[in-house]
Amino acid sequence: MHKREARQPGPYAGLRLLAVHAHPDDESSKGAATTAKYAALGAQVTVATMTGGEAGDILNPALEGSPAAIRDIAGLRREEMAAAARVLGVDHAWVGYVDSGLPDGDFDELLPKGVFYRVPDDVAARPLVELIRRLRPQVVTTYDELGGYPHPDHIKAHIVTMLAVERAADPDANPELGEPWQVQKVYYNQDLSGRKFLAIHERMLADGLESPFAERLDWFAERDRERHTWLSTSVPCGEFIDVRDRALLSHATQIDPNGGFFAGHREAAKKYWPYEEFELALDLTGREPLPHEDFVESDLFADVLYDSGERVPADLLMVRQEVAG
């Protein structure tokens, strides 16, 4: 496991977060500013990457035909991941499964044996059970039941993470993998919601600017109307958005800095939405249940218990910010 360089203790010392992602680069495009912020504040933040990204295409035109990519895409993506982890200031662990790719059709029919999606759930969860018991995170982040979007490895990451959290707490499950540990909270990454882009669109119009979202406004509105997610938690992290972008650019095979993710909509989001959203999926802190309304939290560590049993003090928590308007 790659360990970050030692830092001075910060206000979040003693708090630990494990972010589970499917491929290298996911950690830099989903919740990255939040993980960078917590790491800078002194929390122990670890990214676990379930696959090596071997099936990823070269998405940066500048690297098309790259001998290194053609010869060893897996090795190149490992180097990119190490660079991104350094930028974010997080620890990193490879879980070691093979990228399933994204077939056009039924995953169960088209995916070959041996890829992550095909590994039995109880087998695939074992490395995460060991990691959770060793790292003892109070908070875990992953994807929702739909994988955030329907990629087989994202869906599998959700299934395996939730199973690992359950088994890590069970003293009768896999005792050879370490002492039991109860994760207190699980969150799903939800920072690409339709509601977010609708709000940015309206704020740009109010400033007299042309919105890059106008052509897809109906799609965003429909996505928001039909969403099954709860945007429970909005973490203010504007001061770490540039860190997030630098980490993403570390994945040079996957990111075209002159288009796609870094087109006008990305710059608009940076200015008008300096937050990242999460959905509270599991809460075992013992606090009163949160009202089922959007944006009722601003801190993934809100109300968690330290190892001593003391609750995180209220004056440590980030100030709640209104983001709905």
Instruction: Give binding residues for Zn(2+) as ranges.
Output: 23, 26, 154
Cβ neighbours for 235, distance < 8 A, ≥ 6 positions apart = 33, 34, 37, 275, 276, 277, 278, 298, 299, 300, 318
Q: What angle do CA 273, 195, 280 make, to 5 degrees?
A: 90
What is the DSSP track for 104-129? SS-HHHHSPTTBGGGS-HHHHHHHHH
In whole angstroms, give the CA distance from residue 188 to residue 140.
9
Q: Residue 241 is inside which H or E element, if any?
A: helix 241-249
- Three-state DSSP class for residue 239: helix
Contact 144, 158 (CB under 8 A): yes
Q: Answer yes or no: are the C-beta atoms of 6 and 24 closer than 8 Å.
A: no
Write down the residue that tokens 């035109």 correspond to. 61
CB neighbourhood size of 228 (10 A): 8
Nearest by Cα to 24 from 66, 108, 83: 83
Question: What is the spatial order of strands in the sheet that 275-283 belongs to?
Answer: 91-97, 44-51, 16-21, 139-142, 185-189, 275-283, 233-236
H-run or E-run covering 44: strand 44-51
Joined together, the tokens standing for residue 36 give 């960078």
- Binding site feature residues: 23, 26, 154
**Rounded to an integer, what distance in angstroms lies between the CA atom of residue 127 and that of residue 167?**
11
